[in-house]
Structure 1
Amino acid sequence: MTAFSSSPDPVSIAHAGGARLLADIGGTNARFALESGPGCFEAIEVLSCQQYPTLADAVRAYLALPSVVGVSSGIRHAAIAIANPVTGDQVRMTNHHWAFSIEALRQECGFETLLVVNDFSALARSLPHLGGDRRQVGGGAPVPDAPLGLLGAGTGLGVSGLIPCGASWTALRSEGGHVSFSPVDETEVAILQYAWREFEHVSAERLLSGAGVELIYRALSERAGRPDSLPAPEISRRALAGECAVCDAVLEAFCGMLGTAAGNLAITLGAQGGVYIGGGIVPRLGERFVASSFRRRFEHKGRFSAYLAQVPTYVITAEYPAFLGVSAILSEKLAAA
């Protein structure tokens, strides 16, 4: 059984209604956990979305695991963060084939409460609870009680923000990953022109994602006169190992583009509390990301460069941060019931 606590004290008061089921569903993986008490997550498992025809099948598979089955029959409340807009009862994933009715899923799984929210809204709600599970990149200092920005590249590009609201926070239901990509130099213009061959509309997500890393590689390989294609993990491996100059250029272009997107978000939201970088790609880059053009490009905004120099940027280093956020959202819903 895997467990971690968001509190330095591992002893947690048990939830009055029993353990709660939490899930973080992306386009590639479905992460599940049981929250036995506030901030105490147990039985963490990661399942491949491709292995299950439906989300309900994945939920049932998790609840049938030996580490879970002893308490799964008593689960009354559940919350799911999913990589998709959630605007009503019907949910159809953008980067995976799962589609479902929230109410039908609740009844099928036998939950009293089933809350489904956008994954980056949940991740945004985790930001005040991260503690030391973040790494600052560059300078700046957070302004108290100011908005926070969030974006992260993985299967797609998630974007959100966190706005102070009295004693709590409001997470934005953003789909900012689908804004139009804006190049800032000749290399990025060439990448955009290459991408236009495949897509009528080139969003930021088309380039700032795992598939985007592969697209950038194809574009830069052709530009270098050696057309080629590679999967994203191999591009990163070769770049980090110093084996391939084109792969390193791909990571540099990716980090620079992400810096521009992060700076745009900071200005749009007035995110003087800081901009946080999540997702599956950046945390794996380690020192390469710190040494990249990300922070320089973040601040590269002409008359607003001095403004952005004061805004801190952080890489989220927590292994399962979305659980913190979706737990907070579920707790608020149950408290208001």
Structure 2
Amino acid sequence: MPHNEINIIADIGGTNMRVALIDAQGEIADITIYACADHESLAFVLTDFMTRHQLMGKTINACLAIACPVDKDLIVMTNLPWQFSQSQLKAQLKLNELVLINDFTAIAHSIPHLGADQKVQIGEGNVIANKPISICGAGTGLGVANLISIDSCWHSLSGEGGHVDFAPVDEQEIAILQFLSKKYARVSSEQLLSGLGIEQIYQALSFVKNGEATMLSAKDIAGKALSGECTLCVETLAQFCRILGSFAGNLALTLGSYGGVYIAGGIVPRFVDFFADSEFRKRFEAKGRLSSFNQPIPTFVVTEEQPGLLGAAAYLDQFMSEKSKANYTNQTTNTTRY
């Protein structure tokens, strides 16, 4: 990055928005958290941040990771009454560059930059450099992304992988599917691998075991499972881990994810020890005659607190580097024409 340019990054969720600077050493600095509901627009928040740090009038590049589709100029946020035009926002704030990426794309781009203290390995396996990487994140929903390396650059392959069909592998999971099939015309993996999913697994198991679908929040289920005070809660969380293992293993089979499979999102990092002792890894590897394919593939839980900002910073750095190379090539090509 030229010394006279300033990089801003942001991770924008439905509740909070985190904005930060990239300092001269390339580190994330001056993280500021805004409650989205307290502000009228994204432009207002960014203007406030830029004013606080005396950035108005300077050459600014911004990368915003946002929890909604970003493939059109008009951005309409899913969980906020904010909407804006990308081109108008860039002009209004007088930005040199404005790059918008999906929030899970940002998480994906953080993965190659995680240190040993920002992730926890679950089971065996070794990362093979520059091989495909898969990421799934259970939270409000189930996010999925994949990374592939092309010409020393990482490219995110995003989609709606969390909405693939739920595939039960034993009698208990068949019973869970049968329970949920009475509620939904189609049961996706997200219906089990999310906060709501934990609650629905609990309801299904309580119905199967006791004949009544008892209601309990995901927070309470996890709390009672980790304390050991409720055997049904323990089984619910254990079942969640098993299903996630099968799902993550399917990602590895699909892409050949020898760069590793990473578990992100807001749920699993809250009970890493329980997760490590669960049958997650066993299920990840249990792929019949293809089990030997998955066994050497490593699996990790992302424990970095700000993967969205880290990924936005990585994405912006790569974007600006590629643009610089393209400009240099164009200038060189133009020069040789004379």
How high is the TM-score relative to the length of structure 1? 0.85
Deviation (angstroms), 1:314:
0.9
Distance 1:50 1:193 in 2: 39
CA 1:200–1:21 in structure 2 vs 1: closer, same or farther (change >3 Å)? farther
| Number of residue pairs the alignment of both structures matches | 320
Find the counterpart in structure 2 of residue 244 from structure 1. 230
Distance 1:254 1:58 in 2: 38
Find the counterpart in structure 2 of residue 9 from structure 1. none
Off by >6 Å, runs of 4+ in structure 1: none
Tell me, which stretches of 5 or more residues in structure 1 are unaligned? 1-13
Tell me, which stretches of 5 or more residues in structure 2 are unaligned? 325-338
Q: Percent identity?
A: 43
Larger % of helix: which?
Answer: 2
Bigger-Rg structure (1/2): 2
Find the counterpart in structure 2 of residue 71 from structure 1. 54
Find the counterpart in structure 2 of residue 269 from structure 1. 255
Aligned partner letter, 2:20: A
3-state SS in 2 of match to 1:76: strand
CA contact (8 A) 1:15 1:38 kept: no
Between stretches 315-324 and 79-88, larger displacement belongs to 79-88
3-state SS in 2 of match to 1:169: strand
CA 1:135–1:15 in structure 2 vs 1: closer, same or farther (change >3 Å)? farther
CA 1:55–1:217 in structure 2 vs 1: closer, same or farther (change >3 Å)? farther
Find the counterpart in structure 2 of residue 41 from structure 1. 28
Q: 1:119 and 2:106 equivalent?
A: no
Superposed CA deviations along residues 25-84 of structure 1, whole A, max 9, x for unmatched, are 3344433222223531122244444555654455456x28xxx71335357221111233
Deviation (angstroms), 1:292:
0.8
Superposed CA deviations along residues 292-328 of structure 1, whole A, max 9, x for unmatched, are 1110110111011111111110111211122222112
Deviation (angstroms), 1:331:
2.1
Q: 1:280 and 2:266 equivalent?
A: yes
Aligned partner letter, 2:53: G
Specify which of 204, 208, 215 is matched with residue 223 of structure 1: 208
Q: 1:328 and 2:314 equivalent?
A: yes
Find the counterpart in structure 2 of residue 163 from structure 1. 148
CA 1:55–1:312 in structure 2 vs 1: closer, same or farther (change >3 Å)? same
Between stretches 216-225 and 239-248, larger displacement belongs to 216-225
Specify which of 107, 112, 122 is matched with residue 137 of structure 1: 122
Q: Pairwise CA RMSD of aligned residues?
A: 2.5
CA contact (8 A) 1:95 1:155 kept: no
Distance 2:187 2:78 in 1: 16
CA contact (8 A) 1:157 1:177 kept: yes
Aligned partner letter, 1:322: G
Specify which of 10, 13, 17 is matched with residue 23 of structure 1: 10
Distance 2:182 2:73 in 1: 36
Specify which of 176, 190, 206 is matched with residue 175 of structure 2: 190
CA 1:37–1:174 in structure 2 vs 1: closer, same or farther (change >3 Å)? farther
CA contact (8 A) 1:149 1:161 kept: yes
Aligned partner letter, 2:288: G
Distance 2:176 2:205 in 1: 7
Superposed CA deviations along residues 117-150 of structure 1, whole A, max 9, x for unmatched, are 1222222222221121211100111223311111
CA contact (8 A) 2:135 2:263 kept: yes
Find the counterpart in structure 2 of residue 11 from structure 1. none
Q: 1:303 and 2:289 equivalent?
A: yes
3-state SS in 2 of match to 1:172: strand
Find the counterpart in structure 2 of residue 32 from structure 1. 19
Distance 1:195 1:20 in 2: 47
CA 1:170–1:70 in structure 2 vs 1: closer, same or farther (change >3 Å)? closer
